[in-house]
Structure 1
């Protein structure tokens, strides 16, 4: 779950992953998809303490009512989130809305089985599609989650469980790292052309901003 956020919010997402009542989610595995979402989403939102002020009144009232039914009361502190200058599309609450639906789709067999089936049938693109839940989790974020967590997890799971079917995953890790390097170079080049190029060479602050931009982008892939 920590892969849902950029570096500044990875810690609260990591903490949040330990709070939901997963056994409760599993007990609803045979319920319709919409019912599973109605159970999972308010539980995650309640534990995240990001619920107030994020929705229209009717939806917020429904979510609060469902959240009160959750038996698990442990919650994060609001101060643990960094929300300053976070764009609406990148807001942690948006990621949680999307991931609730990812979990709802995988409740029957579990995320590991979903990822394994996806990569065996469609390679990396299948894992990306399994994590994509627009508009909350767009394809770019799903790709980053795949690179940061899913592939490494599948590789480790394959080694520990001696699952020979997953032996090829390590090859994909190196391939994806190469694709990441290409994208990082593209982002740095784009920031360069957006910037005041003479100032980049003459102004130390402008240079620092360009370097910080490239390092921030690169860091989203290397934090894990």
Structure 2
């Protein structure tokens, strides 16, 4: 047994409260269990209890053994002086606050349904990637749907907080934060790290000054990426001269060409082509952040992300290597990838920062418009009978798996909660 089980038992009050008393024999009545605390300090805050004839308001701390209080040094931590009840499975010793006063203790051993304990142990010891797989078919569809919706919102909020960290580091400049998110996503996993390094090596303030000049944008992006050190044709030489001037002006230090991956890639996905597409998009869109806030349809995002590249890159995949096929604009699936990994996180971040939930709803709506192929996470749930239909479903499945199933956090999951209740004889 782990503490998460006791947290769950206390939060939902799934124990026998008949003649409930503390270890000192004092009658105990729970008026409010308190709010689960995910930060440092006691496990539940703002609980209200009646001990004997006196009503107490404060925190509740939960441990498997009462002695864990001293093992965690709570007797020396003033944050735990506000604890009015110590909830334990086994009361093996008295506990004290920093001033030496005793903390009331209640023991739950013998008060919890054996069927619930057995189900918990089955989930905890499961060898399935989805711990509740044997129970999944018996869970109501509405419970699963609501939990997946919750997992989706939590995932979007998590992505939003990641963007907000960049926004704060960018001195609260949304355009700069969007630029970093865009470059990170342009790596499409294989070159993600290189694009992240490029975002740091080429400040957005420099890009912003030259956004109206496509030649200079290509020179900055391709030069900083390390692709202009040895010009292979006349156009590369032209970009090289432009980059030499700009890099001296802004004291830029380029990346190394070997940091980019070309292996096992289709030519249309080469980093040189991606950089040309990025230059075209930045040139076409003066304020990407504003566009993201305003745009509400995936079709419009496709137009935004599929800006036509310059004439040279219409006919080349790499410098000095002409290609017969033309048009190197970004494909539809890649544009949809940017919707999921740029537009949606930016909208989620802005929803948190502005406290305007409509932007989070807009992010969800965009994901529902994107038809995305199944992945290894969605397939885990599809094998149990659930069907993903959109990028929203894919993100929900990913969130559910990483936050709940992988760490076996069943006690915090609505599906796990339903299974626990169903397999308890007393509930």
> Which bin holds the TM-score, normalised by the shorter protein?
0.5 to 0.7
How far is the alpha carbon of 1:91 from its aligned partner?
A: 0.2
Match of 2:257 among 63, 75, 78: 78
**Deviation string for 1:187-207 (max 9, x for gaps)?**
xxxxxxxxxxxxxxxxxxxxx
Pair 1:116-2:116 in alignment: no
Alignment of 1:166-181 (within 5 A): 166-172=359-365, 174-176=367-369, 179-180=371-372
Aligned partner of 1:64 among 240, 244, 263:
240
Cα separation, 2, equivalents of 1:104 and 1:174: 26
Q: Which residue of 1 aligns with 2:275?
A: 96
User: Does the CA contact (< 8 Å) of 1:46 and 1:75 recur in 2?
Assistant: yes
Instruction: Tell me the distance in 1 between the aligned counterparts of 2:357 and 2:214.
Output: 34
TM-score by length of 1: 0.67
Please tell me whether the aligned partners of residues 302 and 336 of structure 2 are also in contact (alpha carbons under 8 angstroms).
yes
Distance in 1 (alpha carbons) for counterparts of 2:285 and 2:359: 19
Q: In 1, distance between residues paired with 2:184 and 2:343?
A: 11
- RMSD (CA atoms): 2.7
- 1:153-207 per-position Cα deviation (integer Å, ceiling 9, x unaligned): 2121222123465242242255257x32xx237xxxxxxxxxxxxxxxxxxxxxx
Q: Aligned in 2, Cα 1:169/1:56: closer, same or farther, shift over 3 Å? A: same
Structure 1 counterpart SS, 2:191:
helix
Matching residue within 221, 226, 231 for 1:49? 226
Q: Structure 2 residue aligned with 1:14, among 184, 196, 205? A: 196
| Number of residue pairs matched by the alignment | 174
**Which residue of structure 2 aligns with residue 3 of structure 1?**
185
Instruction: Give the structure with the larger helix fraction.
Output: 1
Rg comparison, structure with higher value: 2
Return closer, same or farther for 1:51/1:184 CA change in 2, 3 Å cut-off: farther
Q: TM-score, normalised by structure 2?
A: 0.37
Is 1:133 equivalent to 2:307 in the alignment? yes
Q: CA 1:39–1:141 in structure 2 vs 1: closer, same or farther (change >3 Å)?
A: same
- Do 1:118 and 1:130's aligned partners in 2 also have CA atoms closer than 8 Å? no
Gaps of 5+ in 1: 186-217
Q: Is the 8 A contact 1:152 1:173 kept in 2?
A: no
Is this contact kept in 2: 1:20–1:72, CA < 8 A?
Answer: no
For residue 258 of structure 2, give the secondary structure of its aligned residue in structure 1: helix
